[in-house]
Every structure is written in C-alpha cells, then in structure tokens.
C-alpha cells in the first residue's frame, strides 16, 4: 500500500455507517461491504483487495483495517483518531497513558489492557502545567 494521508483515511472511515459494534479487548466496528463504501475508501487510497482482507461478503471491520494497516492510532468508542504527535507512558501493569495532539485538540488518554480507553481533552492551562512540569 502506498503512503496514505492518514487524516483523509480517518475522515473516510468515520463517515461510514456503522451497522454493528462492540468494545472491550475484542472490539470491532462493522460496516457494510458494498460498492459505495469501497469507492469512498478507494478514493483515499485503500484498495478493495485490502478492504476485503478485513471482512466477508457482507461486512468489514474498520478497526481491524485501520489498526492492522497502521492508519489509525486510537478508537474512542465512537470514532477513529490519528495522532499528529504522541507521548506514551507506561504507568501500571495493564495501563498506558498517552498524551496526543490532533488538529483539533491535545488530549490525555488512559488505555487499559481490557480495551477500555478513557480520554480527556486538555485545556491550555493544563498543557502549560504539563510542559512546565516536564521542563
């Protein structure tokens, strides 16, 4: 697969209508495996052959596609996210803290081995405090 614009891919994945989803350590998000969804993803550089690796004739999983192909960094329970920048910290067995920046915001997230993810957008003041603390 050629170098893709991850932001455009994430936008396309998030625009697909979800027909079934489940969270936890075996999370999945299924969308219909149809011509329209293929065309939308083909436009951002994902081939139909690649899409078909992550499903069957009826559906495909956008989480499997996104994570396995290195196109998304996080799923927050409602949308796929790609980071502009990130810092990962291992803090406890089974947990990881990630500070990440996107076009819209700077966030802190806690990832648990169970698949649960907790996310909070940071205010400008909180970002300044963190930068000062780490300096």
Q: Is the pLDDT of residue 83 over 90?
A: yes
As a whole number, mean pLDDT of residues 43-57 equals 97
Buried b (16+ CB within 10 A) or exposed e, 15-50: ebeeeebeeeeebbbbbebeeebbeebeebbbeeeb
Best-predicted range by mean pLDDT (90-94, 114-118, 126-130, 131-135) = 126-130
Residue 115 DSSP one-character state: S
Q: What is the pLDDT of residue 2?
A: 54
Measure CA 80 to chain center: 3
Q: How far apart are CA 124 and CA 119, in angstroms?
A: 16
Mean pLDDT of the chain, nearest integer? 91
Backbone angles phi, psi at 80, to 5 degrees: -80, 145
| pLDDT tens-digit map of 9-19 | 999 999 999 99
User: Which 3 state secondary structure label does DSSP give 60?
Assistant: strand
């Amino acid at each position: 697969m050629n170098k893709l614009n991850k932001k455009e891919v994430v936008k396309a994945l998030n625009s697909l209508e979800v027909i079934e989803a489940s969270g936890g350590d075996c999370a999945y998000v299924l969308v219909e495996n149809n011509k329209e969804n293929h065309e939308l993803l083909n436009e951002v550089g994902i081939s139909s052959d690649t899409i078909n690796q992550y499903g069957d004739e009826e559906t495909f999983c956008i989480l499997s596609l996104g994570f396995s192909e290195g196109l998304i960094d996080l799923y927050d329970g409602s949308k796929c996210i790609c980071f502009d920048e990130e810092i990962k910290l291992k803090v406890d067995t089974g947990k990881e803290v990630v500070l990440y920046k996107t076009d819209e915001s700077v966030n802190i997230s806690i990832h648990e081995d169970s698949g649960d993810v907790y996310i909070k957008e940071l205010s400008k003041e909180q970002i300044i405090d963190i930068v000062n603390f780490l300096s």
